[in-house]
Every structure is written in C-alpha cells, then in structure tokens.
Amino acid sequence: MKTLRPAVTLFILVGILLGGVYPALVTGLAQAFFPQQANGSLIERGGVTVGSELIGQNFTAPNYFWGRPSASGSFPYNGMASGGSNLGPLNPALADAAKERAAALQQADAAANVVSNKTRPIPVDLLTASGSGLDPHISPEAARYQAPRVARERGMAQEQVDSMIARNTEGAQWGLFGEPRVNVLKLNLALDAVSAQKK
C-alpha cells in the first residue's frame, strides 16, 4: 500500500493536470488570442460557412480557378484521408495521372475557345498533388495560366482577372518561408462577388 498509494495519487494528479487543466488552458488561450485559427480558419459568406482557408475544394467548373489535384482518393480534399500519392517520378501511374489532368485543362480551354494556352507549358502544381493532398493554394503562375479561360467564361477582361490574381497573391510567410501562393477559394469567392455586382 505504501508504494501503491503514491502511484495512484500521482496518476490522478497527472490525469487532472494533463487531461483537464492543460487542454482547457491551451483552448482558452487559443480562443482568446487566435479565434479564427483555433476554429479552423473558416470562411463565411452571408452567415454561411463556405470552406476553410486551409483545405482545398474540388472546383471543376470552367468559370472557376482549379486547385491542385487531391490525392485523397475518390472523395477529393477529404481531410480524413490526407496524404500524398506516394508515386515516385519514375512511376508510370504518375505520368498517366499528369496526362489526364493536362487533358482536362486543355479540354476546358478548348471549350472556352482559349487559344493562348496551346503553346504554354502547364504549371506543375496543376498536374501533381501536394504532400497532404489537401493544399488550398496554387502558384501565381498556375492562376495566370487559367486566367484566359476564367475571364472568357465570366465575360470579364483578362486584365481584371489578372489584377484579382495579384490582389489575392500571398507572399512568403514572414517574408522568409515558402513561395508566393494564391488561395483558390478566396480568389473564386472574389470572382463571384464581382459577378454578383454585375447582375
């Protein structure tokens, strides 16, 4: 009993401290100082949650910008199945997937009667999935590649679409880490807002 009592007491104290006090403290501090991030960086429009800044969405309509391909299986951008494709550069399945994605982009361009993209190389982030398979961003080059199609489908001047891409381009984090990137959901919402104003 002399050995058991301190062990049980320590177990209970540690359980209360690490299982109750610490999580409550961290959650409270996060909600007080970083409520947007603590609640999933959700984006709302008109009181309705339309997505998160952190998880991509499967845009396939030609009047929207398309994000990076998702590697989360038959349900794209499924947070429960996050992960890369794990296909190496010599795997023929990776090349086949890239060809299919390139064909889909070219077909969308052809349907929109976009001829400017025929001789332009497709940015690699439109053909390959990210490590998480959930990436909500594309490169500015990938956005500019799609700009002619989106502009034509929406009846907008390409200069206006290019300007919106520039306004929605985020720089490197703290000016040091990562590359400039465009959040696809935010850009598409900005386009919808402009289209709504025209009506």
* pLDDT tens, residue by residue, 50-100: 888 888 888 989 999 999 988 777 777 877 777 767 777 888 888 898 899
Task: Tell me: do 29 and 103 sit in the same domain.
Answer: no
SS3 state at 170: strand
Task: Tell me: do 77 and 172 sit in the same domain.
Answer: yes
Beta strands across the sheet bearing 137-138? 137-138, 181-183, 169-170
Task: Tell me: do 129 and 188 sit in the same domain.
Answer: yes
The segment with the largest mean pLDDT, out of 1-5, 124-128, 141-145, 176-180, is: 141-145
Instruction: Specify the higher pLDDT residue, 87 or 128.
Output: 128
- For the segment 111-134, the average pLDDT, to the nearest whole number, is 87
Question: Does residue 161 contact residue 151 with C-beta atoms inside 8 Å?
Answer: yes
The per-residue pLDDT for 123 is: 94
pLDDT at 116 over 80: yes
Helix pair 158-167, 184-198: axis angle to 10 deg = 140
Task: Tell me: do 56 and 21 sit in the same domain.
Answer: no
Reported as a pLDDT band with limits 50, 70 and 90, residue 35 is confident
Task: Tell me: do 97 and 135 sit in the same domain.
Answer: yes
Task: Tell me: do 33 and 47 sit in the same domain.
Answer: no
In the block, residue with structure tokens 């064909």? 103
Percent of the chain residues past pLDDT 90, beyond the cut: 45
- For the segment 142-166, the average pLDDT, to the nearest whole number, is 94
Task: Tell me: do 94 and 159 sit in the same domain.
Answer: yes
Domain that holds residue 114: 41-198
The per-residue pLDDT for 166 is: 95
Side chain identity, residue 6: P
pLDDT at 44 over 90: no
Residue 136: CB partners within 8 Å, gap ≥ 6? 52, 53, 54, 55, 56, 57, 67, 183, 184, 185
Task: Tell me: do 53 and 119 sit in the same domain.
Answer: yes
Domain tally, the chain: 2
- For the segment 147-161, the average pLDDT, to the nearest whole number, is 94
* pLDDT tens, residue by residue, 156-191: 999 999 999 999 999 887 777 888 999 999 999 999
Reported as a pLDDT band with limits 50, 70 and 90, residue 33 is confident
Question: Rounded to an integer, what distance in angstroms lies between the CA atom of residue 151 and that of residue 110?
Answer: 14
Task: Tell me: do 166 and 95 sit in the same domain.
Answer: yes
Task: Tell me: do 53 and 115 sit in the same domain.
Answer: yes
Percent of the chain residues past pLDDT 70, beyond the cut: 96
The per-residue pLDDT for 39 is: 77
Task: Tell me: do 33 and 57 sit in the same domain.
Answer: no
Helix extents (H) in 70-198: 92-111, 140-154, 158-167, 184-198
What is the pTM for the complete model shown?
0.80
Task: Tell me: do 119 and 133 sit in the same domain.
Answer: yes
The per-residue pLDDT for 199 is: 62
